[in-house]
Structure formats: C-alpha cells, structure tokens
Amino acid sequence: MIGGIIFVVILSVVVYFYNKAYKRPHNFPPGPPSLPLYGAYWIILAKAYNDLAAACIKLSKEYKSKILGFYLGPFPTVVVNDSKLIKEVLNREEFDGRMDIIIGRLRSYWKKLGIFFTDDYFWYVQRRFSLRYLRDCGFGKRDDSLEFTIAHDVKEMLDMALNGPKYPAENDLVKGNLIYLPHFFAIPFVNGMVHVYTRTSLPRPEYHVLWKVARGALLFQRSSNDFGGALSITPWLKDVMPKYSGFKDLLNGNHVLLDFFKKIVEEAIETHNEAYDRHFLDVYIRKMKEEIKQAERSTYSVEQLILVCTDYMFPAASAVESVLTMLIERLLLQPELQDKIHEEIDRVVGRDRLPTLDDRRNMPFTEACIREQMRYDTLVPLGVAHRALHDTKISSYDVPEDTMVSVNYVALHMDKEIWGDPENFRPERFIENGQLKISKDKSLPFGAGRRLCAGETYARQSMFQVFSAFMQAFRVSTADGKPLKKPAERLQGIITTLPNYWVRVTPRLKI
C-alpha cells in the first residue's frame, strides 16, 4: 500500500516536470526543453559556456530553425539567428520594450530609470530630450570643441607612453615601453563624454578619477552575460551568494559611475543660473524645474539625470576601449596590418601633426580595420534583450506579449552568404577602388531601429581619432617580444572583452 502511494507520487512528479519541460506557448519557435527553476539556461550554457551566441547557433542547427524559442526561468524567450530577420525585428516598434530584471533595477536606485532598461512613454521622452540636446554638444554630430578636447587627451596619452608617467596613477598603466590595455585608452573617451555633458574636462593631474570610472564600468560589464545570468532568473541569489552570482561586482562597478555623476550633477544644480545654459546639465535642470511646476506626471528628476549620464557613459568607459584592445591584439597576430596602417598614415598625415577627422575620408584602410574589428569580435553578441510589447509574430511563429527577444549579431557578422569568408580578418572587404564603401558594411555593431546605440557617431569618430593617433606614434609588439600565435580567449560578459594585458610600444615619433 505504502509502496503504491510512493510510486504514484513519484510518477506524478515525473509527469508534472515532463509536462512543464515541454509546455510552450501556442505556435512558439522550437527550442530546448525547460529544466526546473532555470528553464533552458543550463542547456544553453552546456553548449558553449562562455559564448551564448555560439550556443544559440548550435541549438539553431539542432532544431533546424533559425528562430529559437525556450524559457529562461519564467521568461519565454526568442532568439533570432536569421540574418535576414535581425534588422526587421530591430526596426519593429513592438519589440522596443525592455525586460524588467534585477540588473536594470540595481543600477538605477532600484527603480526603472535611465535609458537602457526603460521603455514606453518614459523611455521615449527621456531619450528624445537627451539626444536632442546632447547632439548640440557633439554627441551625434561633429563638434570642433569636442574634437579638440579628445585631441588634447590623446596627446597626454601619447606623452605618457613616450616620456613616462608624471603622476602616481599613471604608473599602473605605463612601465618602461609597456602599456596596460584596455585602461591606457580610457582617458580620451571618458573625458570626451565629460566634455559632452559639461563643456569642461578633467586635467591630467585628475585622470586617476577617470580611470576609476573606466575600471568601474568594465567591472560591471564583465559581471554578467547576454541574458543577465542566473541572477536575473533567480534574483534572490544576491542575498545568498552576492559575490559568485556577480551581484557584488555589478553593484560596486555601477556605483562608481553613479557616485561620479552624482557629484557633477549636484555641483551643476548648486551653480545653476536661470538666465542662461552653460551645458547639457543646465538644459536638463531647467526642464526638470519646469516639469515639476507644470506637469502632473514628470519623467524628469535628479536621479534620472544621473542615470542618463551614466547610461551614455557606459559604452564610452568600457566598450570602445575594448574594441581597440582587441584590434591591437589583431595587429599582433597579423603584423602586416600595421605596415599598411603606418603607410597610410605617413602618406596622408605625415608625422608632424595628429590625424584629424578631416583625414578619416582619406584613410580607408585604417577606418576599415576598426569596422572589421567590430564585425569580427561582436561586442554585444546577443544585444541588450528586448521585450515584446504585445502579442505579435516573427516570421510564422507567435510571440506572446512580454516575451524576451534577442537577436544574434554573431549569426549576422559570421554569415557566409553576406561576407564570403567571415572567419578571416580582412579589412579590404570594406574597400573598393581605394575608397571606403559604407554600403559594403552590412554589420550592425550598434544595432538598428529606435533602440540603435545613441553613441554610434561619438564612438566611430573618437575611435578613429584615438586609434589613428596611437598608430601614428607607435608600432606594437608582444610584451615578451615573441610572435603571438593565437588570440586570447574572450571574456563574455554583457560585452565581449579581452583579459587585461601589457603590450610593448616602439615609438615612431615624438610628441
């Protein structure tokens, strides 16, 4: 009797979990079953633990469908691995939503603030307003003042490597003829964003503050993965295992940026003059005061201003340096690329002045190397997850409201039908008749649609300024002088990065 009851209970449990494993929304895309608690998350990790985009490509082949459907914990999830559908999905407004997960909350005072992780009316108003006025400050179009600021910081960066450190913090980044990547590249990008917000920048004696921001941003970016990690599925891990779940590093890295901008915003508020606007912060503060007086429902606040600054700073403080760091590694793997870059710089610019944005159109190979790097090592392989705002379809499959939707940029960037030989690093693919052909660049390193990365113009311009000036000044080799045989294993967090490393620089000019 007792044995029969136990058998029935066990059978019931097995049937329950079996049904739960294969229960799916109607006409949902095919994909792996759900395991208890975490859904298909562990199955995906088992396919490629440190490369979720590659795991999704493998599963796509197994299930013979370029659109995958599965559960991540309680979240129905769709991953689009079809190059032809990716741009379509990104441009459809019903996929402009964001998931309300712990990573978004912990970085914004446990509220829904900022630009990255907000949606609907709040996101639309804040993104539209901030971009409207940030463009006036060089974030989205060329600005002579911003270009001068970045050029000044580039000169200081080069001087540090050519003539040695002047201040204590610089000793962590320069030792003899060795420089430490990615942080060596951080100053022009981070200080450039400070200039965008405030029309001022920090002088070299205060660069240590900017390096702290860059380290905090990189710590945050490395502390999770494309899907938000186990922490997003089971947020209670923050209390049980704050370190191993990534929560502690996420929180600490983010607070560096929040504290940095809190101080800047508070100073701007204290010195605000109603008579005129000095910079973007003044424009926002004036609008915030007007809204508080007139509007019943305002999206403007001091905390939101801090998060706006933080959100736009994150890519500048971590992503673009990571792109250049991986590109430097590529030059070590393929030294002939350096020769071509140096030849182009010497022919177009010479060695008596720094390259400017005016030179960019005449330096197609240098620009093509940056573009090829962003294609070859996709910075955000599955992007920042979207959310379906209502029931809809992708191709012939149903996508219920609130489904998490990700697009696999690696599938696009490694599609043989588009690139021919995507496994090869070949900048020439973007060049035709000696000219850069933008039409040949089918990559989407900054996304597309209304969720397109707002900092694309800033990133492309500043990366060219920094990289071309660096290559004008130096030839790079490995720290030990031996040829580099293979690339380092990528660290797959929220963005793709390399482990920090030292590289040897041999001067080509004096600043």
Share of the chain above pLDDT 90, in %: 87
> Which residue has better confidence, 14 or 201?
201
Question: What DSSP letter does each residue of 30-67 carry, written as one string?
Answer: P-PPPBTTTBTHHHHHHH-TT-HHHHHHHHHHHTT-SE
Please give, one letter per residue, the 3-state secondary structure of 63-109: CCCCEEEEEECCEEEEEECCHHHHHHHHCCHHHCEECCCHHHHHCCC
Q: Which of 7-21, 25-39, 123-137, 223-237 has the lowest mean pLDDT?
A: 7-21
> Is 396 a residue whose pLDDT tops 70?
yes
Confidence band for 294, pLDDT divided at 50, 70 and 90: confident
pLDDT digits (tens, 9 = 90+) for 453-481: 989 999 999 999 999 999 999 999 999 99
Q: Which residues on neighbouring strands pair with residue 98, listed in sequence order? A: 386
Confidence band for 23, pLDDT divided at 50, 70 and 90: confident
pLDDT at 228: 77
- Which residue, among 120, 133, 225, 226, has the nearest Cα to 450 in the 3D structure? 120
CA distance 105 to 350: 50
pLDDT digits (tens, 9 = 90+) for 100-136: 999 999 999 999 999 999 999 999 999 999 999 998 8
Mean pLDDT (the chain) is 93
Confidence band for 4, pLDDT divided at 50, 70 and 90: low
Q: Which residues on neighbouring strands pair with residue 497, listed in sequence order? A: 491
Confidence band for 88, pLDDT divided at 50, 70 and 90: very high
CB atoms within 10 A of CB 329: 21
CA distance 25 to 158: 57
> Which residue has better confidence, 65 or 12?
65
* Helix (H) or strand (E) run with residue 163 in it: helix 144-163
Cβ 319 vs Cβ 488: under 8 Å: no
> Is 254 a residue whose pLDDT tops 60?
yes
453 is in an annotated binding site: yes
pLDDT at 15: 44
Cβ 323 vs Cβ 456: under 8 Å: no
> Is 8 a residue whose pLDDT tops 70?
no
297-307: average pLDDT: 93
> Which residue has better confidence, 181 or 292?
181
CA distance 310 to 502: 28
pLDDT at 227: 74
